[in-house]
Amino acid sequence: MGFLIFADYQILDLCGPFEAFYFAGQWLERLGKTTEPAYCPLIISGGSEPVRSMSGLAILPSQSFNDISDGIDTLIVAGGTGMEEASRDRELVDWVRSIAPRARRVASICSGAFILASAGLLHRRRATTHWMYSDLLAATYPSIEVDATKVFIRDGNIYTSGGITAGIDLALALVEEDMGTDVMLAVARTMVVFPRRPGGQSQFKTYNYSTDGIGRAEFRQLHIWIMAHPEADLSVPALAERMGMSPRNFSRVFREEMGQTPAQFAEKARADAARCKLEQTLLPVETIALECGFGDPERMRRSFQRLYEISPADYRARFRSTAIQ
């Protein structure tokens, strides 16, 4: 097993999964299932010098990828802010491409998906990455079916995970695949994490409501108005009348300017407004549903399940500010 790191990698992408595999070995020994190390992870980079993470912590690699010519059981590529430069490093990308056919499985954590994509390993595959980078991954590599809602995705022998701590979720899944459910559960309990994280990555996502990409001034103003009035009538006929356009023409121009339908944008705006109230107030869910334009709690619940894969009540339980308790 090898973890590939590069300058400005995210250290939790390395250390979180690394510890999960370590604890798996410890539990196998305790259960009397082996006397040999379950995993022998290497830390791999382009050289022998310490590699500094994006937070400043430096790790001394075990080996340079230039010295690895044989196959590898599992390759795990970390993410981090250095992923853009790393994905343009031809030597690194060529090595990933060459070693992949000789690996039992290849995985990325967080934005490490960009390196797999640059190596051509995600072509016509389903994949995920940190929700902050999902749109960029989809735009840069259109052949990839990007699903930012998932904590991790397996497509054949290629695994990709969401942001940062999602790498631990992926590591637990690999441990379960290799060692069985009992060992995976023991590791999860030891690390004090969910064995299977409830909900998807989308519950952490905040939508980018910047108007920078909107060309027409009147639609920039409409964008701002919708965000400020989620309780208003946001149907196509009502919005078209507000803009002095026919419903058909309005829907066409809205999609061109916003990149989504009016209904999709309105639902996200309302859900985001509801999330803020769930986090920052003690208002009943029924009141929040009315104030945010959903009309009734059931409609809001369905929207939350669709967008965030979690109910409003569960969202509040996880994300409510401790200052209001």
**Which distant-in-sequence residues (6+ apart) come within 8 Å of 3 by Cβ?**
14, 17, 18, 41, 42, 43, 44, 76, 77, 78
Torsion angle defined by CA atoms of residues 214, 242, 237 and 309, in that order, rounded to the nearest 10 degrees = 50
Cβ atoms 109, 136 nearer than 8 A: no
Cβ atoms 87, 111 nearer than 8 A: no
Residue 275 has which token pair? 């999330």
Q: What does the alpha-carbon distance between residue 310 and residue 105 come to, in Å, rounded to a whole number?
A: 31
* Long-range contacts formed by 240-246: CB under 8 A, 24+ apart: 243/218
40 among known catalytic residues: no
Q: What does the alpha-carbon distance between residue 129 and residue 108 come to, in Å, rounded to a whole number?
A: 8
Active-site pick, 15, 40, 110, 276: 110
SS3 90: helix
Strands 126-127 vs 145-146: parallel, antiparallel or unpaired: parallel
Cβ atoms 149, 202 nearer than 8 A: yes
Q: What does the alpha-carbon distance between residue 161 and residue 148 come to, in Å, rounded to a whole number?
A: 9
Residues involved in catalysis: 110
